[in-house]
C-alpha cells in the first residue's frame, strides 16, 4: 500500500512536476510555499487534472493520462485534510464529522471522537471552533469516510505550539496505528523529518 | 377598511405575483447557475438577454409578449391549438408579464449567492465521497438559500408592482388583470377616487414590507448569520 505518482501540470506560469516512488508509510512533500505542493494533493484527490502522468495508490490506478483513466474524486476514497479545515458552515460539528461516514470504516465513530478528543465540540457550529478544534473535526471527518489513503496539507499550520504537539502526536498514532499510506505536505523541515518515512524535496 | 372589491384586487395581486415568482423560480435558478458556473460561448449574450426586461421600457416588453401570445403569435398559436386556451385578458397573462419582469432580479440575486458559495467546500464534499448531486443538495443549495429567498422576495415585490407590461399585454380587466398598480391608476382617473388610492397604496406598501421582513426572519432561522436584507 503506497503512492506511485508521476504527474505534470502547468498552472499559469508555474510548472508543477512531482514524482513519488512507491514506499511504505508517510511520504512528505517538502518545499517552500507556492511551489505547488497543494496542487499535487489536489491532483491525487481528483480535484485538479494533471496534464500528463499517472497516479496509483496501493495498486489502484486513480489517474493515467496514457490509458485514459481519471476516476472521479468521490470514487478515489481519499481522506483529504485541507490546509484550512473546510468544515461546512451550515452544519454542526457532528454533522460535519458524519458527512462522509461509511459504516464499514476501519475506525468507528466513538473511537475517532475519543482519539481526537472532540466529544465536547459535537454540538457547536464550525464558526465557534478554534483553528485546532476545527482541524481535529476535519481530520475525524476524513477518517470516517474509510479512506484508502490520507492526504494532509500543512496539518500543523496556523496552530499554536500546544496544539501542534497534540496534532503531531495524533498523526504519529495514525501512522503507526491504522497503517494507512499518508501523503503529507509541509514547508517545515522539523515536521518533515519527524513524521516522514521518505521526504520528497519539492520545487527546488 | 377595504371594500369587497378592493379585497378582490388585493387577492388577485397576491395570486398573480405568487404564481409568477414560483413559476419562474426554476428557470431563474437554472439561468443563475449557467451564468455563475457555466463556461460557454454566448454567455455574455444570454446575460444581456436575461437582463433585457430590466432596461427595456415595460410597455415594450408587454407589446412583445402580446405579439408572442396573440392567437396568431408563435406561443399563443400553440396554446390555442393544443389546449384551446388563451392568456390574453386573463390573470394567467398578468402572471406571465409579472414573471418576465421579475426574472432578471431573481436571476441576479440567485447568481450572486451562487457565486458567493465557496467552491472549496464543494471540493471537500466530493473528496468525502459525495457525488455532484449530493454535493449540490447538501452544500451548494443550503449555502445559496438566502440568495434564493432574496430573489423570491425581490421578484415578488417587482411582480406586485408590475404596471406597464401588464397593461399593454393583457389590458386592465377588473377581476382578471386589474392588479394593485392598475387599480390605483384607474382610481386616480376617477373624481373622488383618492380614498381608494390611499387604501390600495397602503396595502401595497404593507405587503412589500411584510414580505421583506418575513424573508429576513426565515434567513435568520436558517442560521449562520446570513441575510436577505
Of the pLDDT bands very low, low, confident and very high (cuts 50, 70, 90), residue A111 is: confident
Q: Which three cell numbers stand for residue B154?
A: 425581490
Query: Model-level pTM?
Result: 0.86
Q: According to the model, what pLDDT value does residue B94 have?
A: 96
Domain residues for the domain of A144 are 3-63+72-201
Q: According to the model, what pLDDT value does residue A124 have?
A: 95
CATH number for the domain that contains residue A49: 3.40.50.300
Q: According to the model, what pLDDT value does residue B224 have?
A: 53
Task: List, for residues B3-12, the tens digit of each pLDDT value.
Answer: 999 999 999 9
As a whole number of angstroms, the distance between CA B69 and CA A187 comes to 66
Q: According to the model, what pLDDT value does residue A7 have?
A: 93
Give the range with max mean pLDDT: A123-137, A184-198, B24-38: B24-38
HEC string of A31-64 equals: CCCCCCHHHHHHHHHCCCCCCEEEEEECCEEEEE
Of the pLDDT bands very low, low, confident and very high (cuts 50, 70, 90), residue A203 is: low
Residues 90-149 of A with CB under 8 A from B: 90, 99-100, 102, 125, 127, 141-142, 145
pLDDT-above-70 percentage for chain A: 99
Decide if B201 is inside a domain: no
Task: List, for residues B97-143, the tens digit of each pLDDT value.
Answer: 999 999 999 999 999 999 999 999 999 999 999 999 999 999 999 99
Minimal-distance CA residue of chain B relative to A143: B128
Domain residues for the domain of B121 are 17-173
Q: Which residues of chain B lie closer than 8 angstroms to A45, CB-CB?
A: 123, 127
- CB nearest A88 (choices: B121, B129, B225): B121
As a whole number of angstroms, the distance between CA A106 and CA A84 comes to 25
The answer to ipTM > 0.85 is yes
Query: Residues B74-90: what's their mean pLDDT?
Result: 91
pLDDT-above-90 percentage for chain A: 54
> DSSP letter string over B75-117?
HHHHIIIII----TTSHHHHHHHHHHHHHHHHHHHHHHHHHHS
Quick check: B227 pLDDT over 70? Answer: no
CATH number for the domain that contains residue B147: 1.10.3720.10
Q: Which three cell numbers stand for residue A30?
A: 517538502
Decide if B50 is inside a domain: yes
Partner-chain contact B126 A90, CB within 8 Å? no
Decide: A95 and B128 in contact? Cβ < 8 Å.
no
As a whole number of angstroms, the distance between CA B63 and CA B109 comes to 27
Q: According to the model, what pLDDT value does residue A170 have?
A: 79
Q: How many domains does chain B have?
A: 1
Q: Name beta bridge partners: A153.
A: A185
Amino acid at each position: 500500500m503506497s503512492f506511485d505518482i508521476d504527474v505534470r501540470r502547468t498552472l499559469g506560469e508555474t510548472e508543477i512536476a512531482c514524482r513519488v516512488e512507491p514506499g511504505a508509510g508517510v511520504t512528505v512533500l517538502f518545499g517552500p510555499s507556492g511551489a505547488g505542493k497543494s496542487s499535487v494533493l489536489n491532483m491525487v484527490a481528483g480535484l485538479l487534472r494533471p496534464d500528463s502522468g499517472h497516479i496509483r495508490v496501493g495498486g489502484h490506478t486513480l489517474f493515467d493520462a496514457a490509458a485514459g483513466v481519471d476516476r472521479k474524486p468521490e470514487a478515489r476514497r481519499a481522506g483529504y485534510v485541507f490546509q484550512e479545515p473546510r468544515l461546512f458552515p451550515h452544519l454542526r460539528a457532528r454533522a460535519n464529522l458524519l458527512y462522509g461516514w461509511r459504516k464499514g470504516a476501519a475506525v468507528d465513530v466513538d473511537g475517532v471522537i475519543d482519539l481526537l478528543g472532540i466529544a465536547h465540540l459535537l454540538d457547536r457550529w464550525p464558526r465557534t471552533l478554534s483553528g485546532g478544534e476545527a482541524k481535529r473535526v476535519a481530520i475525524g471527518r476524513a477518517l470516517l469516510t474509510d479512506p484508502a489513503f490520507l492526504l494532509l496539507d500543512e496539518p500543523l499550520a496556523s496552530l499554536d505550539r500546544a496544539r501542534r504537539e497534540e496534532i503531531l502526536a495524533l498523526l504519529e498514532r495514525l501512522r503507526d496505528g491504522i497503517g494507512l499510506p499518508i501523503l503529507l505536505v509541509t514547508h517545515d523541515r522539523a515536521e518533515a523529518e519527524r513524521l516522514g518515512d521518505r521526504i520528497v524535496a519539492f520545487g527546488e | 377598511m377595504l371594500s369587497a372589491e378592493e379585497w378582490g384586487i388585493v387577492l388577485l395581486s397576491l395570486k398573480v405575483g405568487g404564481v409568477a415568482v414560483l413559476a419562474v423560480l426554476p428557470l431563474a435558478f437554472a439561468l443563475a447557475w449557467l451564468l455563475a458556473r457555466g463556461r460557454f460561448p454566448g454567455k455574455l449574450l444570454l446575460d444581456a438577454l436575461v437582463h433585457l426586461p430590466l432596461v427595456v421600457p415595460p410597455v415594450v416588453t408587454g407589446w412583445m409578449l402580446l405579439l408572442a401570445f396573440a392567437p396568431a403569435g408563435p406561443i399563443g398559436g400553440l396554446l390555442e391549438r393544443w389546449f384551446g386556451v388563451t392568456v390574453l385578458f386573463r390573470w394567467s397573462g398578468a402572471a406571465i408579464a409579472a414573471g418576465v419582469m421579475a426574472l432578471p432580479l431573481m436571476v441576479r440575486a440567485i447568481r450572486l449567492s451562487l457565486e458567493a458559495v465557496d467552491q472549496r467546500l464543494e471540493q471537500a464534499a466530493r473528496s468525502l465521497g459525495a457525488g455532484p448531486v449530493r454535493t449540490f443538495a447538501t452544500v451548494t443549495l443550503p449555502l445559496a438559500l438566502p440568495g434564493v429567498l432574496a430573489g423570491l422576495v425581490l421578484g415578488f415585490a417587482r411582480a406586485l408592482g408590475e404596471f406597464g407590461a401588464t397593461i399593454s399585454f393583457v389590458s386592465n380587466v377588473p377581476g382578471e388583470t386589474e392588479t394593485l398598480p392598475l387599480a390605483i391608476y384607474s382610481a386616480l382617473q376617477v373624481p373622488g377616487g383618492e380614498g381608494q388610492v390611499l387604501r390600495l397604496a397602503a396595502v401595497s406598501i404593507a405587503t412589500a414590507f411584510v414580505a421583506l421582513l418575513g424573508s429576513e426572519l426565515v434567513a435568520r432561522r436558517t442560521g449562520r448569520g446570513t441575510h436577505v436584507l
